[in-house]
Chain A
């Protein structure tokens, strides 16, 4: 790959979190029996007329503002004409000239911790299509429940800023975080509510023309975005190495095999014959509308990260991890407000708690431990009433049961052994069982004391305070 440069453009679609569809009053919902959320408008029946959803338009303006776009004061909907039965009208209502948002950007954090600005060319509003399922034989089944669901398209600028799979992943992660913060999208990639379609090409380092690009579909997770692009870049580089011409094609991603596969060639640029949608009245936004919506934007991930660093004295990495999800950030902040040390909360939320959440396959919103319960656990630990080892095991039980830390500690009869007399007995047992280690320490090997501390902790089932054990051991060995 080294002699080639990678070039990645991103086209993303997000289904909007509205109650109803874009141009009719059918529910915007997921699942359910096929064709139970349709009407003459979203079935494209003759004589039906679309009326745009006010909330959907507002959500796209807000997303555009959050993505630092200029808002087009006057917008039109346009018909994109094509023949495919996923939309029964024979066209998709979309936007062509003057999309709602233009010339925006978002910043991603790259591996070395620095930020890189990814420019966004356009943000527009359109309608989603129905779902086709190839039913075997020569038939496809169509469910129009999704037909007409409000859909936002976000396209990065050309020439593209993204030059690696990792940057593409960082871009879709940041985009998702922003959209979820805004309440514009639920961000569920695995269910197709947020879809990323990268177009990928390679060219010789320093070449002044771009290579032929291929488009990737079926990327259902952040990881799939990264892996799919990496695979496709390698595949193209390998083709060029062997003198094979890359053709413009659409590739699907197979997550199980870790490979892309050919879907179709796109050599003839589709002619969609866009024209202004005659059934819809133009949109106009004045400055007052835009400023009102701007003032309604919530604190976004970058601002929240900077505030967490300043307000809670967090490490930038922890702040980045916590603010990657609004729900996680809110959880952290609620737990910190309970009076526990914020850094300790950050460590637990990004560490042990996140590990438990990931292992359970859920997310932070499913956690049975209320934020103030986590705060209470950490206050018990930091006051010296339980050790960190015990705290971690209590956390696991809290995660499973939702019980209070104090309740678990009482039930287990755990308390910190800070009674020096009781500890001395255990220490003497450990010392007499490990005379060789004691000899090493006396000979100047200070590190071996850690082993003895570990033995005492084990003997007291983690209930002793390590600093006290350490102190007593040193006293008794006389080192």
Chain B
């Protein structure tokens, strides 16, 4: 058994992700997340001593684009789906610093 996530852990992760979970949902997530962690435990049994860490699943590296500018979206298109806009700007609620 891996270290078990508590309901408090779930609440914290949810808060960081800006998710609002009911008490029931927190309980359910706790079990599901613990099940997932248990799955990883079985991977821990493998000997990975000589295996390089994998950060990406594709056997590729150094994929670049050349530094050249191309046309951007027209402003009307860029802001088309904005819930609120004014003078070509997106409008959002002011974020008040704590």
Binding site for B on A (CB under 8 A): 18-20, 25-28, 33-40, 43, 51-57, 74, 76, 81, 83-85, 132-135, 137-144, 263-265, 271, 273, 276, 278, 281-284
Contact = CB atoms under 8 A, between A and B. Distances in A.
25 contacts: A26-B70, A34-B87, A34-B88, A35-B75, A38-B73, A40-B73, A52-B64, A54-B65, A55-B67, A74-B61, A81-B16, A84-B95, A85-B90, A85-B95, A140-B94, A142-B89, A142-B92, A143-B89, A264-B97, A271-B16, A276-B56, A281-B63, A282-B55, A282-B56, A282-B61
A51 B72 contact: no
A56 B79 CA distance: 28
Contact of B66 (A54, A273, A276): A54
A18 B90 contact: no
A38 B88 CA distance: 12
Contacts of A35: 75, 78-79, 88-90
A139 B93 contact: yes
Nearest to A282: B61
A38 B72 contact: yes
Tell me whether chain B's interface is mostly helix, strand or loop, or mixed: loop
A35 B6 CA distance: 44
B98 A264 contact: yes
Interface in B40-98: 55-56, 58, 60-70, 72-73, 75, 78-79, 86-95, 97-98
Given A35-B88, A139-B91, 7 more contacts: A25-B69, A26-B70, A36-B88, A51-B63, A52-B64, A135-B94, A140-B91
B98 A57 contact: no
A140 B95 contact: yes
Given A140-B92, A141-B90, A281-B56, A36 B63 contact: no
Contact of A281 (B16, B60, B68, B92): B60
Contacts of A137: 94
A55 B68 CA distance: 10
A35 B73 CA distance: 9
A42 to B, nearest CB: 9
Interface of B: 16, 18, 55-56, 58, 60-70, 72-73, 75, 78-79, 86-95, 97-98
A273 B75 CA distance: 33
A18 B72 contact: no
A82 B93 CA distance: 17
Contacts of A144: 78, 90
A25 B70 contact: yes
B62 A284 contact: yes
Contacts of A33: 75, 88
Contacts of B56: 76, 276, 278, 281-282
A19 B72 CA distance: 13
A284 B75 contact: no
Contacts of A34: 75, 87-89
A13 B90 CA distance: 25
Contact of B92 (A26, A27, A37, A85): A85
Contacts of B72: 26-27, 36-39
Contacts of A57: 64
A475 B16 CA distance: 91
A207 to B, nearest CB: 30
A361 B62 CA distance: 44
A33 B60 CA distance: 39
B63 to A, nearest CB: 5
Nearest to B67: A55
A273 B16 contact: yes
B92 A54 contact: no
B69 A281 contact: no
B67 A53 contact: yes
Nearest to B70: A25
Contacts of B97: 263-264
A76 B56 CA distance: 9
B89 A283 contact: no
Nearest to A33: B88
B25 to A, nearest CB: 20
Q: What 4 pairs between A and B have smallest CB-CB spacing?
A: A55-B67, A54-B64, A141-B89, A264-B97
A35 B93 CA distance: 18
Contacts of B68: 19-20, 25
B94 A139 contact: yes
